[in-house]
Amino acid sequence: MKEKMLVSLDGAVESLVTTWLLKKQGYQMRAVLFDVSENSDQKEELLQRVSEYEKKLGVSVQLIECGKEARSIVYKEIEFGISRGFRYDIKSIFHQKFLFPKLFELKKQYQFQKIATGHRVSLNFEPLEDKMKVFRFGDAKQDESHLLVGLSQEDLHSLVFPIGAIPHNMIQKLVTELDLAPIIKPMKFEMHYETVLNNAPVYASDGSYVGMTEEDSTLGLGKDYDQSLIFDINPKQNQVVIGTLESRVLNEIWFENASWFSGEDLGFKFKACQMSWKNGTQAVPVKIIQYEGAGMKAILDQPITGEDANLFSGDAVLWVDGNTVLGGARVIKCL
């Protein structure tokens, strides 16, 4: 008998194709759709969409209202990051602090064996090493392995990403053939706040879709971080200081919340690999040294300068070896 599978829906096509593929493979399944909207005005519409999902996919779908809980968790983390002068990625925070913890909680509560999502990343079990290895999606710009930062080997053994090895054009073809076009918009967070720019008050709003979409969700201070500018926050004065990347030089990067997907002992002193960020569009060779607990420091083989030095406190990075993701962490200091 096939394993009991919990599937996370978000309204985007990837999660719909994931559910359909697993259904065809004969898994015992239940799907969940987390309602993280700000109010309940869409409740009736969501229930109608859930009914349509069930008819199209042949799977029972549970709508879970958790808007207040999710926003409280995400906003608390964002405010903490801003107070430290960090920029933030709403989608990463949502996954690490809410989505995956919530899915593992439901898995335990209802005794599911596996959790499936539509993330564009692959897992492969290596029996000789007894480890689950993480592999990036074929198109680096669409890869979502950075959203797994913080997960343990035990966590990875419970996860399934059915579309992680399927080319994007094939996914779109399946969507068309199966008439699985998204019928609700993926859930979205918005944050409103006041800051100071050039000694004048600025009222700003940041937002991000938290589902599997192609939209960039790395935001801060009311706008996307432009590669030609550096934004530093002084939390005591609530000031934004703007500079240019032209003279920026990075020699080493310090991290927190580091995880090593391969399951190796984190007691190593040096580990040569590539450090990747900006959704895989940039990568440099580094040597990593652990300095305390899950904190790490990466020493760059060669300094990165100017427009290439677009890495800042709060950004998430991956440590990779070719297409294999070794681990990841969040930047706390660039030197």
Last residue of a domain, one of 197, 219, 244: 244
Q: Which of 54-68, 103-117, 198-212, 261-275 has the highest mean pLDDT?
A: 103-117
Average pLDDT over residues 134-141: 87
Q: Does some domain include residue 212?
A: yes
What pTM was computed for the model? 0.83
Q: 254: which strand partners?
A: 297, 333
For residues 56 and 141, membership in a common domain is answered with yes
170 exposed, middle or buried (CB, 10 Å; 0-12, 13-18, 19+)?
exposed
Residue type present at position 191: M
Residue 73 in domain: yes
Same-domain status, 195 and 136: no
Residue 144 has pLDDT above 70, yes or no: yes
How much is the average pLDDT of 101-105?
A: 96
- pLDDT tens figures, 192-224: 555 555 666 655 555 666 654 444 433 333 333
Residues 295 and 202 placed together within one structural domain of the fold:
no
Q: Examine residue 274 and state whether it is found in any structural domain, yes or no.
A: yes
Residues 128 and 200 in one domain: no
Residue 142 pLDDT: 84
- Residue 107 pLDDT exceeds 50: yes
Residues 136 and 231 in one domain: no
Look at residues 137, 158, 178 and tell me which one is the last residue of a structural domain: 178
Max mean pLDDT among 43-52, 149-158, 213-222, 245-254 falls in: 149-158
In a shared domain, residues 196 and 72: no
pLDDT tier, 27 (very low <50, low <70, confident <90, very high otherwise): very high
Domain extent, residue 290, equals 249-334
* 235, 253: one domain: no
Give the 3-state secondary structure of 253-317.
EEEEEEEECCCCCCCCCCEEEEEEECCCCEEEEEEEEEEECCEEEEEEEEEEEHHHCCCCCCCEE
**Residue that terminates a domain, selected from 156, 178, 200:** 178
Residue 204 lies in a domain: yes
pLDDT category of residue 254 using cuts at 50, 70 and 90? very high
pLDDT of residue 260: 82
**Whether residues 220 and 259 fall in one domain:** no
Residues in Cβ contact with 36 at an 8 Å cutoff, skipping those fewer than 6 apart:
66, 67, 70, 71, 187, 189, 210
Phi-psi region of 238 (alpha: psi -120 to 50; beta: other; left: phi over 0): left
Write the CATH number for 172.
3.40.50.620
Residue 239: band (very low, low, confident or very high) from pLDDT cuts 50, 70, 90: very low
Whether 104 has a pLDDT exceeding 80, the answer reads yes
Together in a domain, 76 and 159: yes
198 and 124, same structural domain? no
- Same domain membership, residue 235 and residue 91: no
CATH of the domain at 311: 2.40.30.10
Tell me, yes or no, whether 183 lies in a domain.
no
Q: Would 271 be classed as within a structural domain? A: yes
In this structure, the answer to whether residues 197 and 292 fall within a common structural domain is: no
- Work out how many domains the chain is built from and give that number: 3
| Residue 35, burial from CB neighbour count under 10 angstroms (0-12, 13-18, 19+) | middle
Is residue 125 situated within a structural domain? yes
How confident is the model over 264-274, as pLDDT tens digits? Answer: 556 677 889 99
So what's the pLDDT on residue 202? 59
> Domain for residue 306, yes or no?
yes
